[in-house]
């Protein structure tokens, strides 16, 4: 296998995750994990990610079809959706900060209530228990019931059965005891490391280390084993050093393959799309620094509230901020260099805006 150059890695990074559109279950299985985000601009990140990979996808399809699919809302390197089979790698999950006795007792009472009711909306739990309010992570005040349900979900006591207008509806769940022997824990950690490598490859060495550290969110109780798995992975993954940066990818893939040639499509990507998620990799591959600015004060924004990276062929050439009203799109664009000229670019952009318009339309009953 010939050593790839940076152009090869760029094409490979795009082609391996922007596969031919398929069904929703197959797309999630192939991606391994889809990051979620509540902001809708003009759609949620999970929908913006899936629209490129699922045939005839419409905004909200994941939420509408969720209860019929073998997928779960849960935590990996962050919060999102993943195939149900992956839960066995992380659950039962041990949180870094154990509950005190009063909180543990409240959780047991809520769990008994949920089991009795079957499925519950947080409002039902609040009406029954009236837990009041608590101080949240940001120093403000949050509904104590919501805070407790989040903790129970994270610990694997509850699962999300569905969403009602975006609000999680919970049901009780019991996870099978894992193989907790040293060998069993090592196998689970190795599988988690492989999962993130196959999702985000090719990975600069520093990004691989960072992602494995983020597994402390999904599997804090396997922190020691994931660090060991990382050391072993570096020995078995394929790698190459380009301009002083060592890159890693699965050993059964070839970044220099001609089959990674880019297509002619232009795509508006979600800020958390696998193509652009790793900002370190982004800057190495495309030569400019993209920043997600939804939580940046408006006067300090360079790209916009919810800038969607613009991918054309195998180059991220700029960004778009898109709003929708009255069935029409209202996009605004920025470019790293001059806006491309010519009929090919205009046609590709028109096609993408038409696809975006269709994606935002309600599905036929």
Q: What is the DSSP annotation of 265-294? A: -EEE--TT-TTTS-HHHHHHHHSS-----T
Angle (nearest 5°) at CA 91 between 89 and 97: 120
Tokens, residue 297: 């004060």
Q: First and final CA of the chain: distance in angstroms?
A: 50
pLDDT tens digits along 140-164: 435 788 899 999 999 999 999 999 9
Report whether pLDDT(132) > 80: no
Q: How many Cβ atoms from other residues are within 10 Å of residue 215's Cβ?
A: 26
Please check whether residue 360 is in contact with residue 42, taking contact to mean a CB–CB distance below 8 angstroms: yes
pLDDT tier, 364 (very low <50, low <70, confident <90, very high otherwise): low
Residue ranges per structural domain of the chain: 22-86, 101-172, 262-360
pLDDT tier, 328 (very low <50, low <70, confident <90, very high otherwise): confident
pLDDT tens digits along 173-219: 999 998 999 999 999 999 999 999 999 999 999 999 999 999 999 99
Please check whether residue 212 is in contact with residue 205, taking contact to mean a CB–CB distance below 8 angstroms: no
Report whether pLDDT(365) > 60: no
pLDDT tens digits along 276-313: 999 999 999 999 999 999 999 999 999 999 999 999 99
Number of residues in the chain: 365
Tokens, residue 222: 């396997």
Rounded distance between C-alpha atoms, residue 23 and residue 138, angstroms: 39
Measure the CA dihedral 281/283/285/286, to 10°: 150
Please check whether residue 259 is in contact with residue 22, taking contact to mean a CB–CB distance below 8 angstroms: no
This prediction's pTM: 0.93
Sign of the CA dihedral with 258 first, then 263, 264, and 267 last: negative
Report whether pLDDT(138) > 70: no
Res 129: pLDDT: 86
Report whether pLDDT(100) > 70: yes
Res 1: pLDDT: 64
Architecture of the 101-172 domain? Orthogonal Bundle (1.10)
Percent of the chain with pLDDT over 90: 87
Please check whether residue 76 is in contact with residue 215, taking contact to mean a CB–CB distance below 8 angstroms: yes
Averaged pLDDT score across all residues of the chain: 93
Res 141: pLDDT: 37
Kindly state the average pLDDT of the residues 113-137.
Answer: 80
């Amino acid at each position: 296998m010939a050593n790839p150059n940076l152009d090869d890695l760029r094409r490979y990074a795009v082609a391996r995750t922007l596969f031919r559109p398929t069904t929703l279950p197959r797309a999630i299985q192939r991606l391994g994990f889809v990051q979620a985000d509540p902001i809708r601009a003009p759609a949620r990140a999970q929908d913006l990610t899936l629209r490129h990979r699922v045939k005839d996808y419409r905004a909200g399809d994941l939420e509408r079809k969720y209860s019929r699919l073998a997928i779960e809302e849960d935590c990996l390197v962050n919060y999102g959706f993943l195939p149900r089979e992956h839960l066995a790698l992380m659950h039962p999950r041990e949180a870094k900060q154990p509950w005190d006795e009063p909180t543990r007792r409240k959780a047991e009472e809520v769990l008994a209530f949920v089991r009795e009711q079957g499925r519950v909306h947080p409002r039902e739990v609040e009406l029954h228990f009236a837990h009041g309010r608590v101080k949240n992570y940001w120093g403000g005040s949050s509904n104590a019931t919501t805070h407790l349900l989040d903790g129970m979900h994270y610990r694997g006591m509850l699962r999300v059965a569905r969403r009602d207008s975006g609000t999680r509806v919970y049901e009780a769940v019991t996870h099978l005891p894992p193989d907790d022997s040293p060998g069993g824990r090592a196998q689970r950690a190795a599988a988690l490391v492989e999962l993130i490598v196959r999702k985000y490859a090719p990975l600069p060495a520093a990004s691989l280390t960072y992602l494995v550290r983020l597994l402390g969110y999904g599997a804090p109780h396997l922190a020691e084993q994931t660090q060991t798995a990382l050391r072993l992975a570096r020995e078995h993954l394929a790698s190459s050093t380009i301009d002083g940066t060592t890159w890693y990818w699965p050993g059964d893939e070839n970044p220099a393959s001609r089959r990674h040639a880019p297509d002619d499509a232009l795509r508006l990507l979600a800020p958390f799309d696998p193509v652009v998620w790793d900002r370190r990799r982004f800057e190495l591959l495309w030569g400019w620094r993209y920043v997600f600015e939804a939580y940046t004060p408006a006067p300090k924004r360079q790209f916009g509230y919810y800038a969607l990276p613009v991918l054309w062929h195998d180059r991220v050439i700029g960004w778009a901020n898109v709003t929708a009203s009255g069935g029409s799109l209202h996009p605004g664009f920025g470019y790293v260099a001059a806006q491309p000229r010519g009929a090919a670019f205009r046609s590709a952009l028109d096609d993408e805006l038409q696809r975006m318009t269709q994606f935002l339309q309600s599905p036929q009953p």
